[in-house]
C-alpha cells in the first residue's frame, strides 16, 4: 500500500470534518482514477432519497476499488458533487461512516448532475 501523510498546517483553517487538507502519497506502485459514480444499482434503479443515494454511490466507488484489488484505505482524493447545499451534513456523515475514519483529501461542490434523478456523484483517486 502507498504510504500517506496528512498535511493540515496550523496556518490554514482546520478541516471541517473527515478529510485532510493535503494528503502526500509516497512509494506508490500504481494509481487508480475512479470515474464519477452515480447512485444507480446494477439494474439501473435509483434509490429514493439523498441518504440512500449517497450510500449507493459510495458502494459503487468501493466496488470499483475492490475490482482493482484495492479498498477504501487506498483513497487519496475524493470529489463529491451534490445537487443542493442542504445535503452537505448528510454527505459528511455518510462519508465518515463509509470510510470508517479514513480521511483522504476531499472537495465538495454543488452542481447539476447529468440525470436529474441523481442527487450526487462521487469521483475518486486511489494509490497503492
Mean pLDDT to the nearest integer, 31-37: 93
Residue 17 has pLDDT above 70, yes or no: no
What is the DSSP code string of 40-96? --TTS---SSHHHHHHHHHHHHHHHHHHTT--GGGEEEEEEEES-GGGHHHHHHHHH
Kindly give, in sequence order, each residue whose CB lies less than 8 Å from that of residue 81, ignoring residues fewer than 6 positions away.
36, 108, 109, 110, 111, 113, 120, 121, 122, 123
**96 vs 74: CA distance, rounded Å:** 15
Please give the mean pLDDT across all residues of the chain: 92
Please give the residue range of the domain that contains residue 122: 3-127
Say yes or no to pLDDT of 27 above 80. no
pLDDT bracket for residue 1 (50, 70, 90): low
pLDDT tens-digit map of 104-123: 999 999 999 999 999 999 99
Which pLDDT score, from 0 to 100, does residue 114 have?
A: 96
Summarised one tens digit per residue, pLDDT across range 63-96 is 999 999 999 999 999 999 999 999 999 999 999 9
Q: Give the CATH number for residue 43.
A: 3.30.1330.40
What is the distance in angstroms between the CA of the first residue and the CA of the last residue of the chain? 4
Position 101 confidence tier, pLDDT thresholds 50, 70, 90: confident
Please give the tally of structural domains in the chain: 1
Amino acid at each position: 500500500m502507498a504510504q500517506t501523510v496528512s498535511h493540515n498546517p496550523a496556518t490554514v483553517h482546520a478541516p471541517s470534518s473527515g478529510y485532510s487538507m493535503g494528503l502526500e502519497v509516497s512509494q506508490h506502485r500504481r494509481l487508480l482514477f475512479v470515474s464519477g459514480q452515480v447512485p444507480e444499482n446494477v439494474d439501473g434503479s435509483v434509490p429514493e432519497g439523498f441518504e440512500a443515494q449517497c450510500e449507493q454511490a459510495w458502494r459503487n466507488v468501493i466496488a470499483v476499488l475492490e475490482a482493482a484489488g484495492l479498498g477504501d484505505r487506498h483513497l487519496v482524493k475524493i470529489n463529491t458533487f451534490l445537487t443542493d447545499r442542504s445535503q452537505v451534513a448528510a454527505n459528511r456523515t455518510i462519508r465518515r461512516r463509509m470510510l470508517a475514519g479514513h480521511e483522504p483529501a476531499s472537495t465538495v461542490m454543488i452542481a447539476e448532475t447529468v440525470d436529474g434523478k441523481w442527487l450526487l456523484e462521487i469521483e475518486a483517486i486511489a494509490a497503492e
